[in-house]
Each structure stands twice: as structure tokens, then as C-alpha cells.
């Protein structure tokens, strides 16, 4: 029984149909209806004693009905709320006797003793059937588990990623032999235990099947879902433009905050001093990380990375900075000026789309210089000689197919307020101009 | 098991005293527990302030605040009287159809559907940005694989080892479907495919400095 009683101050407005509704004709011939105890059980049952209502008492606030003795006992034991919906129910003064309901019950079931006799007969039959079914289920489950155990053991020996511990779930669970059938209670308990084991085994096989189906059905989709959970410092640019849209936030790159002069800040930062002290640490960490990418064998640099970083401080600072100061960008080549036959695009290949997460106080000039430096580092010897000195124009796309060139000293915060306004990574385009 | 009852004997308890028909949208006066149809009772209370059955005053100025939907009684009526619910629904739809108006219940249904669409769209755009983030360094400990060009990753702590395997497979093996050929270890200990990075960090890297250092290698058949 689900109760969705309206609030006390709800307006009782009538719809057009209700204003002119005709009454439903009452059936006055000798029509008989077959009343099954099961069908009306939820309406005529006391939720406290789970038996038919006796001397019905109804709560005024929510119109839930209980036996008189049951609700009085419940209120006396200190529960000052409706047992069904927990609305406030202070005392017996919030209850009303419901003689109409009692009369209705007496018309449906004239003899209460007869009703109770039927109930007992049903329960006895149910218990007998349940006992036999439990025994049969127990035997079947035992046979199934025995047959499943042999292939799993063979597979465990032959292959799989076992060994080393670490919480690996590849090992098969040991299944005990089914016990001999005994008393009905004991049989029921054993059956439930074996059912639990069987569910575990079937869950494992189900997950394996689902994994295989997912791989076979749509490899691209699983790639997208995997990419959406991972933020990486590497470039991940799918070859087609549709995929690049789907993985807009797949990878991010931290832009060095040290390159941002303090005088550029237009508004004083509301971040407290603890978080502001963590920013130089993170900047140093990024610097060290980038340096260690170039010389991976330098273990001393790795130690410095470990020493400089502190995940707790960084977590706190990142949480606060993420709300106020950080912004995400998606950098794409200009569709017309940087077409497929451009030298730089050919050299970049699939790395022409870049994903950046940086402070909102950075300016467009910072982005241009960052792109120049980054592409020089990435391409290295592959870069043609004529492109060694790079300069970029930065565009933003407020509408599709509409590109607005940006002024060099605008901050990303101003660009976001003026052109973007959507809670998504800002799409920007770069084009190359020769010095 | 079933009991046959004449509807004639039950009718006095499930009919509205105002209109003489069966209860439709049964509404009960909470003070005296007398039940009527919703439309009949609301019309009655617009003119009078008393209960139609017992003539007791419900409230001097706001009697509508002391009546309530009686869903239990309505369910009983719908179950006892055959075809009453279908007939009432059909009458309502025919009424609105004859006037070329949308049925209010259908409007409510469509409104709920619209809410679901908006929620779905919003759910898609999260991309785990607001999750707790974890810093990871992925290193290769085998000669058969080349190192990742960029080893440092910052991702949601809810990402699992399978996600990292797929990333490594995409970067090194040129195919995300080959992620099963990779093992990922921490402190030279093999990690399960469903472990989240939060779990790995808390259980194996709690007292060490970030980033969480993980190693990958080709899968070893035991």
C-alpha cells in the first residue's frame, strides 16, 4: 500500500470532466462477485498484526487503518507516529473509530471463524509444498555445482591470471558437497546457503558474458566509455571528428601556472592562504613531471617529484580551485586555414586536437606561446625547418561555423563570459601564421 | 476458497450518498470518516460547511482542509465492482476527445517523461569531472613493451584497473580490444581488474607520496 496523501493546504480544484461527471450506475440485480481472500488482503489487513482488521481505527491525518488493540498498544509503547507512513500521531485523539469499514468487512466475510479456518488450511498446504520443493531444489543445486566445479578447476590450472594474491577473483570458489536431507528446517537452511553460492557463480559467468558481448558489439563505444573516465597528459585525438566530440574531456593537460605573471590577475583570488601556498607546489610538480618525461632514466628527478607533491594538499587546493579558477579547453585546427595539406597538420598527424585544463586567469597570448612550445617539443626533429618559429592566432566558436578571433591580452575568464557561457569545455581553434 | 457475495448487500458501504453512484476518487471527511466522491464533496462544500451524512460542521471557514483522499476505500471499490475502473477511464477520455482537448492525466504523464529526458542529458555531461582525482604514474617493466610517451595520468578515483589496461592497450598495442594481454602491478603485486584506483591507493599506497606508481607488463600465463 503506497500512500501519497496531498498536503493539507492543497487546493481541491475540479477538472472539466469532474464538474459534469455522471454517477456510475449501481448494480442492483442479483449479480454475485467472487471475493478471493488474497485479492483484498492488502486493503482489509492490519499492518501491525497482519490479520484482518478488528474494530477498525483510522488515523485522521493519513487515513491509514489499524485494529483498535494494535494501534493503542503501539501508541502506548512510545511510537508517536503512524506505523505505515510515520506521520505524527500523538495520541488516541488523532484516531477515529470507523464503523462503516467494520460493516463492509462483515458483509464480505460474515464469519470470521470460517475465514481463519481457510487461512490455516492454506498455510498448511503451503508449508507442505514448500518443504518438498526445498528438497528437490537442494538436490538439483548440488548436482549443478558439482558439474560446474570440475571445468573451473581445470581452467584454473591451465591458465588465467592467478598467483600473487592481491584480491584476484579468478580462482573458483570451493563448493562443499551437499549435506544429507534431514528435518525441514535444516533442509531449508542448507538450500538457502547453496542458493547463495550458486548465485555467486552465476554472477561471475554473467559478468564474463556481458564483458564479451560488450567487446563484440561495439569496440568504439567501450573505448569512449574507458576514455571518459581517464584524464591523461598524453594526446588522444581520434581520427574522425565525430569521435573527437565524444571524447572532449578524455584527456587533460596541466598548463604551467608559473608562466602566469601575478599582475595579470584582474580580481583578487578568494582562495585562502593554504590553497594559495599549494599552487607553487603543483606548478613545481608539473615542471618536474615534464622534465622527467624527457629523461626517464633520471631517478633523482623522480625522487624530487615524490618529495614535492602532497596529495592531501593538492586535493584540497584542486577542489577549491576547480570551482573558481580552472577552465577546460579543446584545441582544434582552424577548418580552412589549417587544411589537410598544411605542413604542420601533416607533421602532427593525429595529434592536432589537444585538451587543456588551465587557470582561467591565463591570457590568449599564454595559450599561443604554450602551443608553440608544446608543438616544438612534441615534433622535435620531425618539424620542418620553415616551421621552427611558430606563432598562432586563437579563435573561439560561440556558434557552429562561426569563429571569432581573440585579442592577445584577454583572459580565459573574460572569453568564457563573453562567448561561451555553457558549462562545457570551451572549443577553440588555432591557425598558424609565419613570422 | 473464494466466497461469492451479492453486490446488492455491499452497495450501501461503497456508494456515494450525494450522487448515489459508486465512489469515484473516494474522499473522506477526516473528522467523522464519512466518504464521498471527490467531485460531489467539493461541490457540496462550496455551499455548505457540514458533512452530508451526519450534518456535523467540518470547519467554519476552511472545510476543504479537513478532507483527504481515501486510497484504501477507492482500491476496495475498484476491486469489488467489475469493470468500474475501465468504464470510468473510458468515459473521461471520451469526454475530452469530444471536445478536442488533451486528457489531464496524459499531460501529467508527458511532463514526467520530459523530466526524465532532461535528467538523462544532464547525467551524460558529467564525465567524472567532480570526482575525487588521483595521480598515477604508469611504468613499463618488460622489454617486450615500449614505454608510454607520457607516463603521468590524473583521473577519477573511481576508474578501475580495466580502464588503465584499455588505455595502455590503446597507446602501445594499437587496439583497445587487446587490453587482456596486459597485467598491471603495484609494489610487484598483481592487481585485480575490478579494483578502483581509490581502493588501490588506500590499500597499497596510503603512507607513500603521490603519484601512485603502477607497473605494466605483458600478461603472464601461469
Which of B42, B81, B148 is closest, CB to CB, to A12?
Answer: B42
Pairing outcome for strands A354-359 and A326-333: antiparallel
CB contact under 8 Å between B6 and A63, yes or no, is no
Domain boundary among A65, A94, A128: A128
| CATH number among 3.10.20.90, 3.40.50.970, 3.30.420.130, 3.40.50.261, domain B133-218 | 3.10.20.90
- Residues of chain B neighbouring A288 (CB-CB closer than 8 A): none
For chain B, say whether A7 makes contact (Cβ under 8 Å). no
Q: How far is CA A425 from the centre of its chain?
A: 21
CB contact under 8 Å between A108 and B68, yes or no, is no
Asked if A229 contacts A247 with a C-beta cutoff of 8 angstroms, the reply is no
Burial (0-12, 13-18, 19+ Cβ within 10 Å), A2? exposed
How would you write the pLDDT of chain A (435 residues) with one tens digit per residue? 333 444 444 567 677 787 777 787 777 767 777 777 767 778 887 888 887 887 888 888 788 888 988 888 888 788 778 888 877 787 877 888 888 888 888 888 777 666 778 777 777 877 777 787 787 888 887 888 878 776 655 554 444 444 444 333 333 333 344 444 433 433 333 333 333 333 333 333 333 333 333 333 334 333 333 333 343 333 333 333 333 333 333 333 333 333 334 433 333 434 343 333 333 433 333 333 333 333 333 333 333 333 333 333 333 344 434 444 677 788 878 777 666 556 666 666 556 777 787 888 888 888 887 878 777 776 666 656 555 456 677 888 877 767 787 878 788 878 887 777 676 688 788 876 554
Please give the C-alpha separations between residue B84 and each of A107, B23, B106, in angstroms, as whole numbers: 20, 10, 20
DSSP state of B144: S
- Alpha-carbon span A294 to A283, nearest angstrom: 17
- Alpha-carbon span A292 to A301, nearest angstrom: 6
Domain boundary among A128, A154, A183: A128
- Decide: helix, strand or coil at residue A303: helix
CB contact under 8 Å between A159 and B221, yes or no, is yes
B219: left (phi over 0), alpha (psi -120 to 50) or beta: beta
Q: Which CATH class is domain B10-100?
A: alpha beta
Domain range enclosing A73: 36-128
b (16+ CB within 10 A) / e for A225-244 = ebbbbbbbbbbbbbeeeebb
Give the number of A-B residue pairs with CB atoms closer than 8 Å.
254
CATH code of A45's domain: 3.30.40.10
Count of structural domains within chain A: 2
Q: Where are the domains of chain B?
A: 10-100, 133-218
Tell me how long chain B is.
222
Distance from CA of A142 to the nearest CA of B (A): 29
Distance from CA of A138 to the nearest CA of B (A): 31
Distance from CA of A272 to the nearest CA of B (A): 20
Asked if A75 contacts B41 with a C-beta cutoff of 8 angstroms, the reply is no
Asked if A301 contacts A292 with a C-beta cutoff of 8 angstroms, the reply is yes
For chain B, say whether A252 makes contact (Cβ under 8 Å). yes
- Nearest Cα residue to A433 out of A392, A394, A403: A392
Domain boundary among A82, A103, A128: A128
CB contact under 8 Å between B39 and A21, yes or no, is yes
CB contact under 8 Å between B192 and A26, yes or no, is no
CATH code of A339's domain: 3.10.20.90
- Residues of chain A neighbouring B184 (CB-CB closer than 8 A): none
CB contact under 8 Å between B79 and A39, yes or no, is yes
DSSP state of A20: T
For chain B, say whether A315 makes contact (Cβ under 8 Å). yes
CB contact under 8 Å between B209 and A44, yes or no, is no
CB contact under 8 Å between A24 and B84, yes or no, is yes
Q: Would residue A390 count as lying in a domain?
A: yes
Amino acid at each position: 500500500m503506497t500512500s501519497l496523501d496531498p498536503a493539507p493546504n492543497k487546493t481541491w480544484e475540479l477538472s472539466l470532466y469532474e464538474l459534469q461527471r455522471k454517477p456510475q450506475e449501481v448494480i442492483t440485480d442479483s449479480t454475485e462477485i467472487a471475493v478471493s481472500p488474497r485479492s483484498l488482503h492488502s486493503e482489509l489487513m492490519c499492518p501491525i498484526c497482519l490479520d484482518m482488521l478488528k474494530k477498525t481505527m483510522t488515523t485522521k491525518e493519513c487515513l491509514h487503518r489499524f485494529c483498535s488493540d494494535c494501534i493503542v498498544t503501539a501508541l502506548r509503547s512510545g511510537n508517536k507516529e503512524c506505523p505505515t507512513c510515520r506521520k505524527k500521531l500523538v495520541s488516541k485523539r488523532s484516531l477515529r473509530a470507523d464503523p462503516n469499514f467494520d460493516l463492509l468487512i462483515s458483509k464480505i466475510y460474515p464469519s470470521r471463524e470460517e475465514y481463519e479456518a481457510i487461512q490455516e488450511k492454506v498455510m498448511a498446504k503451503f508449508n507442505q509444498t514448500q518443504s518438498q520443493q526445498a528438497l528437490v531444489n537442494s538436490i538439483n543445486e548440488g548436482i549443478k555445482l558439482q558439474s560446474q566445479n570440475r571445468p573451473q578447476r581445470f581452467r584454473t590450472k591451465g591458465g588465467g591470471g592467478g598467483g600473487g594474491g592481491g584480491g584476484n577473483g579468478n580462482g573458483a570458489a570451493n563448493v562443499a558437497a551437499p549435506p544429507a536431507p534431514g528435518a525441514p528446517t535444516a533442509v531449508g537452511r542448507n538450500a538457502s546457503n547453496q542458493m547463495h553460492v550458486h548465485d555467486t557463480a552465476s554472477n561471475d559467468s554473467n559478468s564474463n558474458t556481458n564483458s564479451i558481448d560488450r567487446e563484440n558489439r561495439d569496440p568504439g563505444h567501450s573505448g569512449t566509455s574507458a576514455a571518459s573516465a581517464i584524464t591523461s597528459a598524453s594526446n588522444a585525438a581520434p581520427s574522425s571528428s565525430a569521435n573527437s566530440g565524444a571524447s572532449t574531456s578524455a584527456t587533460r593537460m596541466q598548463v604551467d601556472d608559473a608562466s602566469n605573471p601575478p599582475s595579470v590577475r584582474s580580481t583578487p583570488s578568494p582562495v585562502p592562504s593554504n590553497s594559495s601556498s599549494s599552487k607553487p607546489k603543483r606548478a613545481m610538480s608539473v615542471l618536474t613531471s615534464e622534465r622527467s618525461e624527457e629523461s626517464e632514466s633520471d631517478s633523482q628527478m623522480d625522487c624530487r617529484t615524490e618529495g614535492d607533491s602532497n596529495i592531501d594538499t593538492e586535493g584540497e587546493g584542486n577542489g577549491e580551485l576547480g570551482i573558481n579558477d580552472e577552465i577546460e579547453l579543446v584545441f582544434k585546427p582552424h577548418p580552412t586555414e589549417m587544411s589537410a595539406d598544411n605542413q604542420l597538420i601533416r607533421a602532427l598527424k593525429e595529434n592536432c586536437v589537444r585538451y587543456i585544463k588551465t587557470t582561467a586567469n591565463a591570457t590568449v597570448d599564454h595559450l599561443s606561446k604554450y602551443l608553440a612550445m608544446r608543438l616544438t617539443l612534441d615534433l622535435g626533429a620531425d618539424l620542418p625547418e620553415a616551421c621552427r618559429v611558430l606563432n598562432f592566432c586563437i579563435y573561439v566558436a560561440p556558434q557552429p561555423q562561426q569563429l571569432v578571433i581573440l585579442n592577445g591580452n584577454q583572459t580565459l575568464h573574460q572569453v568564457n563570459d563573453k562567448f561561451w557561457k555553457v558549462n562545457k569545455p570551451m572549443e577553440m581553434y588555432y591557425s598558424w601564421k609565419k613570422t | 476458497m473464494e466466497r461469492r457475495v451479492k453486490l446488492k448487500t455491499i452497495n450501501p458501504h461503497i456508494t456515494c450518498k450525494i450522487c448515489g453512484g459508486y465512489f469515484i476518487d473516494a474522499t473522506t471527511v477526516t473528522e467523522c470518516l464519512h466518504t464521498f466522491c471527490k467531485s460531489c464533496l467539493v461541490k457540496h462544500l462550496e455551499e455548505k460547511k457540514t458533512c452530508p451524512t451526519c450534518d456535523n460542521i467540518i470547519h467554519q471557514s476552511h472545510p476543504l482542509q479537513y478532507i483527504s483522499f481515501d486510497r484504501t476505500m477507492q482500491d476496495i471499490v475498484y476491486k469489488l465492482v467489475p469493470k468500474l475502473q475501465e468504464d470510468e477511464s473510458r468515459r473521461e477520455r471520451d469526454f475530452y476527445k469530444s471536445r478536442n482537448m488533451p486528457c489531464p492525466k496524459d499531460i501529467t504523464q508527458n511532463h514526467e517523461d520530459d523530466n526524465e529526458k532532461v535528467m538523462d542529458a544532464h547525467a551524460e555531461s558529467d564525465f567524472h569531472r567532480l570526482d575525487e582525482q588521483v595521480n598515477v604514474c604508469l611504468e613499463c617493466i618488460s622489454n617486450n613493451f615500449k614505454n608510454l610517451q607520457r607516463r603521468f595520468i590524473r583521473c577519477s578515483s573511481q576508474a578501475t584497473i580495466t580502464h588503465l589496461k584499455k588505455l595502455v592497450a590503446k597507446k602501445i598495442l594499437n587496439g583497445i580490444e587487446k587490453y587482456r594481454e596486459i597485467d598491471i602491478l603495484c609494489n610487484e603485486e598483481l592487481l585485480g581488474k575490478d579494483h578502483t584506483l581509490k581502493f588501490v591507493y588506500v590499500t597499497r599506497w596510503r603512507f607513500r607520496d603521490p603519484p601512485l606508481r603502477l607497473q605494466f607488463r605483458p600478461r603472464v600465463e601461469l
